[in-house]
């Protein structure tokens, strides 16, 4: 793992902000590529003074948004035809209705959950979620995650054991926060319908 991280630090250092953008675009699309191995080394390079922390974050968030839009467009263009072959029109309509009502909170929270963050753009594209809202909530969710990872690299540097420990704790903390936020959102929706 250390060799991979060293290679990525070197690659990001050579490609600069474009490298961060491209790798985060991959991470945000349907390629299984973890953002941790991009943003943490980039944060470390910012700590060393080789990169600007602001440009690292800007490049990472912009790359995440571009990858999310790639998935969104793929789902918009091809997803419905594919879904119609495997599930009923009634279920597709329920998905559309759900995303029209709850797409913003789903996109935001989905961007913070490992294993879901890459794929939350597909249902948004299928349901033709408003592009501006999709972008805003993608940027908010991706931004929080990028900030967490960048500052882990910035403040902890290349101490892999400590990074792994903090990353697990932060992931659990974010997951609990999402559950609380979802619970509050659900209660708000229930009260609105009374």
Tens of pLDDT along 86-117?
778 888 788 778 887 777 888 888 888 777 88
pLDDT digits (tens, 9 = 90+) for 23-46: 899 888 877 677 777 888 888 889
Summarize pLDDT for 81-94 with one digit per residue, the tens.
877 777 788 887 88
Contact 8, 37 (CB under 8 A): yes
Residue 2: is its pLDDT beyond 70? no
* H or E stretch at 125: helix 121-126
Q: State pLDDT tens for residues 163-191.
A: 666 666 766 666 677 677 667 766 666 66
* Contact indicator for 123, 95 with CB cutoff of 8 Å: yes
Backbone angles phi, psi at 187, to 5 degrees: -65, -40
As given in the structure block, the two tokens for residue 65 are 């948004």
- Predicted TM-score (pTM) of this structure: 0.77
Distance CA(97)–CA(160), nearest Å, equals: 44
Contact 56, 102 (CB under 8 A): no
């Amino acid at each position: 793992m250390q060799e991979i991280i060293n290679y990525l630090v070197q690659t990001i250092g050579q490609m600069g902000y474009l490298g961060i953008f491209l790798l985060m675009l991959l991470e945000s699309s349907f390629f299984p590529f973890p953002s941790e191995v991009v943003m943490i080394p980039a944060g470390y390079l910012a700590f060393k003074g080789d990169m600007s922390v602001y440009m690292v974050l800007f490049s990472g968030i912009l790359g995440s948004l571009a990858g999310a839009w790639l998935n969104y467009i793929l789902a918009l263009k091809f997803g419905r035809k594919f879904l119609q072959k495997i599930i009923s029109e009634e279920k597709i309509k329920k998905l559309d209705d759900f995303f029209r009502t709850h797409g913003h909170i789903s996109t935001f929270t989905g961007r913070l959950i490992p294993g879901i963050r890459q794929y939350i753009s597909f249902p948004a594209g299928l349901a033709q979620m408003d592009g501006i809202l999709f972008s805003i909530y993608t940027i908010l969710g991706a931004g929080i995650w990028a900030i967490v990872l960048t500052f882990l690299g910035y403040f902890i540097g290349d101490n892999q054991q400590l990074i792994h420990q903090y990353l697990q704790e932060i992931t659990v903390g974010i997951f609990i926060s999402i559950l609380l936020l979802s619970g509050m959102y659900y209660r708000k929706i229930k009260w609105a319908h009374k």
